[in-house]
Amino acid sequence: MLKKKLFWQAILISILACVVVTMFAAWLAREQAKEELQTYLKDVAEQAMLRSDRAFTVSGNILDKLDRSDLKDCSEAHQRQLSIFIFKELFVRDVLYAPNQQVQCSQSSRVVYSLPPRDQQTISGPSLWFAFKGDLFRPSVLYGSGPHYAVLNSQYLVDILPVKKRELCIEAVLNNRVLAKTKGTPAHDNSWLQQSKVSLSNPHYVITAYLPPKELQRAWLGYFKDWLPLGFIVCVLLIGIIVWLTRRSFTMGLEIIEGLQLGEFVVHYQPMVALANGKVCCAEALLRWQRQNGSKISPDLFIGYAEENGQINLLTQFVLETVITDLAKLSHLDISVSVNLAGADLASPLFVENLAVLCRKYQIAPSRIELEITERSFVLGQSAINTISLLREAGHLILIDDFGTGYSSLSYLHHLPVDLLKIDKSFVQALGSGAATHHVASHIVQMAKDLGLEVVAEGIETSDQAEILKEMGVEWGQGWLYAKAMPFDDLCKFLQPSTTTPFKPLSSDPLPDAV
């Protein structure tokens, strides 16, 4: 059942991983496509503005020369002079001579007519007619101050040859009115990509380049195809890691059993001391797993797995047997050992009897085996509380481990068969730090005193922390300030008469984070 569950979980996680990778590749491709097209539009708008500015500047210079010329009589010489300027510049369609707004002639015509009212006047002075036709075959832009006027090809202002052929649209707008735009420019909205360029000589003159959404889609597809191979490789790697982790989960249970058979599990002991005099009174049994290849498995990993998959009872049994065997070798010392129990241990109907049998077999008083239970164990209900009561009646001291991080409340503790509270190390390390949890430890101690319970503080690292806890009335302490967890042989040396004198910390500085 478990393997089937893990199998489907692995499939689901693999699918989700591939979906996430694909979506990320798609997003990245879109951002790249958008950046490329925006750069492209910016270049196009700048080129169009340069072209447009040149057209008006050159036209202005031509008109100035003509206005200063003595030929203003529409003679053949005058018309020939007009044609010379037209042939020099492609964007000039014609030049009109229109004194007092009356057209007298152009380079090829002597038809007389009046100019229509101008559309706008530029900042520099010349007037503009946006759709001037006159006697021409198509509307153009008329520009000038008079008496000469240049008839400009409006398409020249927006017709450029971009490096890449796209469905590009360009608009030239003066004072919010379209002066020129590319042929076939459709209506556009905010979904179109666009970049604008403002004329340096006239801030009201703007040229904007547009691209329709399908161009973004086309560019995105190209980038997405480029990212697909890398995305595929990442998906394969992720699936491989997920499969490896899943197979590891499949085999973890067998590895635990094999590790017990091969003697890979060992019990280390971390001493507890009386804060009043520094004497060692107890030690906590901590399970360690080192494979034959030298690799170490974190307790958080294998204990969590064993709890979820029903193998924690095997590990607890191993710890109890090891602890009781070791205690038998320390019969000359007044020291006890605390053992951590899981919820599954309390739920076992044979646990109390099996522990009693072990104590009788090795002639170990139950009081020398203290039992640590997390607050979560009490959520199991009345059956767990009944088991704890039986263990306490048998003579075992009951400790609530990591108190303050679980579910207990003051009203609930009144009904629990416990003897000691162990303050979680996170609250101990907050002492004197000014952290939000700075005062939690003192509240826990006061609550324990009100209930007639003794207190053990875990994770003591500095002499200052030990002194504060002692002033609070905490009876027992445990942490790297006194000793790290150690094998049984090292514990025996630690408990030699020369080391059982009251412990005096050497420094108030915290110990390093790593052992």
What is the residue extent of each domain of the chain?
A: 47-214, 251-499
Tokens encoding 401: 């481990």
More confident residue, 179 or 460: 460
Q: What is the reported pLDDT for 4?
A: 59
Residue 319 has pLDDT above 90, yes or no: yes
**Mean per-residue pLDDT, 306-318:** 87
Confidence band for 379, pLDDT divided at 50, 70 and 90: low
Please tell me the pTM assigned to this model. Answer: 0.52
Judge whether residue 440 has pLDDT over 90.
Answer: no
Per-residue pLDDT band at 394 (split at 50, 70, 90): very high
For 114, the enclosing helix (H) or strand (E) is: strand 113-114
Among 133-137, 252-256, 375-379, the minimum mean pLDDT is found in: 375-379
What distance in Å separates the CA atoms of residue 490 and residue 496, rounded to the nearest whole number?
10
Over residues 262-271, the mean pLDDT reads 94
If you average pLDDT over residues 277-300, what whole number do you get? 90
Q: Where are the alpha helices (DSSP H) in 69-178?
A: 76-88, 154-158
Reported as a single tens digit per residue, the pLDDT across 230-256 is: 777 888 887 777 777 666 655 677 788
How many residues are given for the chain? Answer: 515
Which is more confidently placed, 322 or 16?
322
Instruction: Report the chain's mean pLDDT, rounded to a whole number.
Output: 82
Closest by alpha carbon to 428, among 457, 453, 406, 405? 457
Asked whether residue 510 carries a pLDDT value surpassing 70, the answer given is: no
CATH number of 251-499: 3.20.20.450
CA end-to-end span of the chain, whole Å? 39
| The predicted structure's pLDDT at residue 513 | 41
Q: What is the mean pLDDT of residues 73-79?
A: 87
Pairing of β 398-403 and β 369-374 = parallel
Average pLDDT over residues 5-29: 78
The model's confidence at residue 178, banded by pLDDT at 50, 70 and 90, is: confident
Tell me the average pLDDT across 11-15. Answer: 77
Per-residue pLDDT tens over the stretch 102-128: 888 888 888 888 888 888 877 778 888
